[in-house]
A and B are shown apart, each in its own frame.
Chain A
Amino acid sequence: MEEFSSEIRFVSLLDASDDDMVLLSDEGGLALDLAEMKRVQEYYRGKGREPTDVELQSIGQAWSEHCCYKSSKVFLKEYLLSIDTPSVILRGDAGVVDFDEDHAYALRIESHNHPSAVEPYGGAATGIGGIIRDVLCMGAQPVALIDPLHFGPLDFPHDKLPKGVKHPRYLFEGVVAGIRDYGNRIGIPTVSGSVHFHDGYLGNCIINVGCVGIAKKKNILKNAVKTDSDVFILVGGRTGRDGIHGVTYASVELTEDMEEEWMGGAVQLGDPITKEPLIHTCLEAAERGLLNGMKDLGGGGLSCVVGEMALAGGFGAEVNLEKVPLKEEGLQPWEMWISESQERMMLAVSPEKVDDVLHLFKLYDVLATPIGRVIKDRIVRVLYEGKKILELDLDFYTAGPEYCREYTHDTRYLEKPEAIPEEPEDYSKTILKLISSPNIASKAWVIHQYDHEVRGATVVKPLQGKMGYACHGDAAVIKPLEHTFRGLAVATATNPTFSELDPFRGGMSAVDEVCRNIAAVGGFPDSLTNCLNFGNPEKPDRLGLFRETVRGIGHVASHLGLPLPSGNVSFYNETEHGHVPPTPVVLGVGKVPDVRRCITSDLKEQDNPIFLIGDTKNEMGGSEYLRVFGGHSGTVPNVNVGMLKKSLHAVFRAVNEQTIASCHDISHGGIAIAISEMALGGDVGAFIDLSKTERVPTSVKMFSESNTRWLAEVWRGKEDRFLDIVSDVPVRKLGMVKGSSVIIADSNVKAGIFLEDLSEAWKRTIYDYMGGTP
C-alpha cells in the first residue's frame, strides 16, 4: 500500500468544532453545510486519520447539489423517474430511447445559468459543449441542438440596473454569439429553441441547452467501466485552472462579489476546434468496438467521472494524476482533480485495445492519455508522482446526501381579485401590439445566426413558409438516417408566466405545449427531458414551487406514457433581488413515421377551410395579453389529460393522412396570433369568424392561451376525411384562407389587418433592440 505523499496537506477535521467546520467549508469553497461536514468528520474518525485537501475538495464536488441532486431527488423519484416504458434503453448522462430496429436516439437538456450570467459568451458556448458530450458519451452522434433562453426585459432602463447585474441586451447578444460560435463550429445544427423576456430573469438569466443524438444500438455505451482490468484514457482538451469550483458555485446563490472569483476561474473556456474532431474520433472508436465505456468530464471534472464510472461497473479506480496533460504549469493536484476544463472525455478501454485507441486519436490530432486503471476494491485512489494523495471508499464518496427539505405551497395568488382589462376599442391595434411584443415577435435575429442546416438533415426548419416570408414553426424535424424516411420531431416549451401563478398547471402546460408542437408537424410524442430552473431549495416556498411543477409535469407525462429518461435541475437561480419565476423547460422528441408527410405552419392555398381543434376557455392567467395590457387572473390554463391524449392521436393521424395543409399550435397570444403567424408564413390572408365558438368575451376568444388547441388549414376536398379522423375531439370550422389581410370577426366586432402591417409589426422588434435589418 502506497504511503500518503509527504507534500500533501492534511486538514484538521477530527477535532474540529462546528464553527471550525463551517469555516472550513467556506474557505475551501466546498459548499457543504454543517450536517454534511459532520458526516465527513464521522467517516474520518472511523478511518482514524485526517482528510487530505484533495479528499475534501472531492467530497465537496460529489456532494454538491449540482452533482447529486440532494434536494430534488425525492420529488423526481416520486413524480418523474417512476414513469417507465419499454422504449427506454438506458438512463445515463443522456437518456437513450428506441428509434427503429437497429437504432436509438439520445436526449438531454441542462442549464448553464450561472456561468452565462457572469460571462455570457463563454458560459453559453461551454453549455453547448457540455450537452454535446452528454449525448456523445452514450455512443450517439449529436444531430440537433435546442436552446431555450430567458432574459430580463430588453428595454430595462440602464440606471435602474442593480449593481453587478448585466443588461439583458448584453447578455442576449453574448449568449446568442456563444451558442453561434460554438454550435456552428462543431457542425451540429441548432434547430429549435425559444426566447422569453421577463422581469424575473433580470438578475439570473436562464440559459438551457438541449441535444438530441442518434446511435446504432450496437454502439451504445454505458457511462461505466466493464472489467477489472479496464484502462482509463483521458481524451480531448488539456486540464487547466478554468472551471474550478463550477459545480459548487452553481449550488449557491449568485452574489455581486462572486463575480470576480468566477472570472478568475469558475467559468470554463470552450474550444470547439478541439471538440469537433473529438466527437467523430470518439464515435469512430465506438464504431470499431474499441471502447468499454465512455463518460464526459463535466461538473466536478476527474473527481466525479472516475468514481462514477468505476462504481457503475462495480469496481474501484486508481489514477496517476501527474499523467494528466495540463494547460499550464503549477497546478496543485487538487486543482487537476476537480478542474472542469472543457472538451474532455474519459474512455474505459480493455488493455489490449489501448494501442489502437491511442493511434486513432493521434491520427486525428486529438490528445489521448492513459491516466489510470480499474481496481477490484471499491475505492478511488489517486497517486501523484507515486505518492498517495487521496483514498476514499466509493460507497461513502458517491453516496451523496438526499434530503426531503421543508416546502410550502403558497396559493395567495388565488385570493388576488381578477382584474381583466375592458374589451379593446380596436382589436386590430391590440393584435399589432401583441404580435410586436418581444415574447411573440420574430426571433429571426437569433435563428439566422445559428446554422440550422448543417448535416443536411433538417427537413422541417425553424422558420417555415414561402421564401422571404418564413415565420415561426412549432417543431423542427430531423431525418437522422440515410436509409429511412423516419424522422425525429423536436420541440421545446416553457411558460414561466403560467408557472409563477400556478406551478402545477405551469408544469402541465409545458408538457401539453411540447406535445402539441410535435403533433402539429406530424410527429407523435415519444419521450421528454426537462431542465427545471428554480431558486434556492433551502427556502421552503421555492421548494414548494419546484414540487408542484414536478407534480404537474409528472401528471401529464404519466397519463400520456411519456418517459423522461434524463433531465437536469438547476437551483439557486436567485440573487438578493429575488428568484427567477419557476421555469420548467420541457424538451420533447416525437417520432415521425415518414418525414415526407410532415407539414409546416404556413397557410398554403386560397379557399382552403380553417378549423379550430380544441376548446377555448376563460383562462387568461399568465397570458401574454394580460402581461402586455395589464390585469390579473389566477386562472391559468388547465390540462385535461384525457382530451390531450385523444387530441394528439387525432392531429397526428389527420396530418399523416395528409388531410391538413398547415397546422399551428395555439399558445402565446392565442388564436389571433396563431392565425396571423400562419398567414405571414404563407404570405396569404385569412378570414375567421369566432362568433359560433364559446360564449366568452371576444378578447378571451382571440387571446386566451387555453391548452390542447390547434388551428388547421384543411385541403379542400379532404374536409370529410379530416372531420372523420377528429370526430371525438372538439372541432369547429372558423373560416378560410382568403385575400391579403387577416380578418377576425366576432358577433359585433371585427379586426382586419393587412399582411404588410402585420409583417412589419412582427419582424422588427428584436432587430430594433439588437441592431441589423430584418
Chain B
Amino acid sequence: MKVEDVKVCILIIEGTNCEAETSQAFRRSGASAEIVHLKQLLGQDTKPEETRKLEDYEILVIPGGFSSGDYVRAGAILAARMKSRMEDELVQFIDEGKPVLGICNGFQILVELGVLPGIESIMSRYPTASLGWNDSGRFECRPTLLENWNKGKCIFTTKLERGQIIQAPTAHAEGKFMLPKHREKELLDTLKDNDQIVFRYVDAEGQIAGYPWNPNGSLFGIAGICNSEGNVFGMMPHPERTYLGIQQADWTRNVPDNGDGKAVFESVLDHVTKKF
C-alpha cells in the first residue's frame, strides 16, 4: 500500500502528552496519523461519527506521557483499561502482524499489558518484565545515545545498521528495565537468542556505560525491546524528539540532515507499505 494510505492510531487518555509530536513524526514521513481517545475505540460517550475501530488502522502507537497520572505504577491504569475492554481486538491486531509502538509511557503500558517482552504468547496474563524506578530516584531528562543491537527482527529499526548509534532523549522516572530476579539470566538469554533486544544505552565512545549515559540503571543497558515476532516494540527514549536534525542535543556543533529518530518511523512505514 501507499504510505499516505497507512493509517496510524495514536492512542491517548488523560495524561498522555506526547501525542502531537508523535503524530507529527508519522505525518512528516507521509502517513496518515490520527489522535484517538481510548473512549473512541470503546464507543463510550461518542457520537457515531466519533467512534473508531482498531482494526481500521495499520499501526497502533501509544505515545509518551503520564497516562492517568502514573500515580499507581507507570502505565498500569491504561494497560488495565485496555486489557479489560479491548483485549481481543488488541491480540487480533498483533496476531495479524500489524505494528504496535510504545514510546516511554507507551513502553511501560506495553510491558504492563504483557505484550512485551511477549516471549511465550502474544499477551501474557501477567507482566513478565518491569520498568522500575530510575537508580537515581529522580525523573531524568537528558540526551542519550542508543546502539542498535537488533539483528533484523524488529521492524522498527530496519533502516539502521546493526551497531549504529543514534541519539534520542529520555524523560522518565520509571525506565529501569528489569526481569524477575529468579529468572533474570534465563529470560535475558532468551531475549538475546530471540533477537528481541533492540536498543542499548552507550556512551560517546559507543561503549556500554553507567550513569548518566545509562540514565536509569537498566539491566544490560536495555533501552528498547521488541516481541518475539518483531512487530511490537517499546523504547524509553523518544525518537519523535529527534526526528529533525535541529532537535538533536548537539546540532549546533554538527548539523545532521535528518534527526536520528526518523529511522524508527521510516522503518515501520517501509515495512507496512511492503507487507500490506
Contact = CB atoms under 8 A, between A and B. Distances in A.
Q: Do A and B come from one complex?
A: yes
A598 interface: yes
Interface residues of B, number: 50
A296 interface: no
A682 B253 CA distance: 9
Contacts of B211: 773
A695 interface: no
B66 A273 contact: yes
Interface string B236-252: 00101101001101111
Contact of B47 (A359, A364, A479): A359
A362 interface: yes
A256 to B, nearest CB: 32
Contacts of A365: 14, 39
Nearest to B251: A459
Interface in A452-487: 452-461, 464-468, 470, 479, 482
Given A453-B241, A454-B18, A468-B204, A273 B68 contact: yes
Contacts of B213: 468
Contacts of A187: 17-18, 65
A451 B241 contact: no
A180 B251 CA distance: 26
Given A449-B141, A456-B24, A595-B246, A277 B204 contact: no
B136 interface: yes
B45 interface: yes
Residue with the highest number of chain A CB atoms closer than 10 Å, among B14, B15, B39, B241: B14
15 contacts: A185-B65, A362-B45, A364-B37, A448-B142, A450-B141, A454-B21, A456-B241, A457-B21, A459-B251, A465-B250, A467-B204, A470-B250, A595-B246, A662-B252, A773-B136
A458 B259 CA distance: 14
B169 interface: yes
A716 interface: no
B163 interface: no
A447 B241 CA distance: 17
A513 interface: no
Nearest to A604: B253
B46 interface: yes
Contacts, number: 125
B21 A455 contact: yes
- Across the A-B interface, give the 7 residue pairs with the lowest CB-CB distance, nearest first: A187-B17, A456-B21, A273-B69, A451-B171, A277-B14, A600-B252, A185-B66
A276 interface: yes
A46 interface: no
A317 to B, nearest CB: 30
A125 to B, nearest CB: 13
Contacts of A429: none
A409 interface: no
A451 B141 contact: yes
Interface in B223-271: 238, 240-241, 243, 246-247, 249-253, 255
Given A449-B139, A772-B136, A363 B45 contact: yes
A184 B136 contact: no
Contacts of A453: 141, 169, 171, 238, 241
B246 A468 contact: no
Contact of B15 (A276, A362, A457, A460): A276
B176 to A, nearest CB: 15
A470 B250 CA distance: 9
A179 to B, nearest CB: 11
A599 interface: yes
Interface in B30-48: 37, 39-40, 45-47
A311 B8 CA distance: 47
Contacts of A595: 246
Residue with the highest number of chain A CB atoms closer than 10 Å, among B20, B212, B250: B250
A554 interface: no
A272 interface: yes
Nearest to A278: B14
B139 A363 contact: no
Contact of B249 (A185, A456, A470, A596): A470
Contacts of B69: 185, 272-273
Given A362-B45, A598-B252, A273 B169 contact: no
Residue with the highest number of chain B CB atoms closer than 10 Å, among A447, A449, A453, A461: A453
B173 to A, nearest CB: 8
A374 interface: no
B66 A461 contact: no
Given A187-B65, A453-B241, A466 B253 contact: yes
B123 interface: no
A452 B141 contact: yes
Given A273-B14, A454-B21, 4 more contacts: A449-B141, A450-B139, A456-B18, A468-B204
A467 B145 contact: yes
A119 interface: no
A277 B142 CA distance: 26
A180 B139 contact: yes
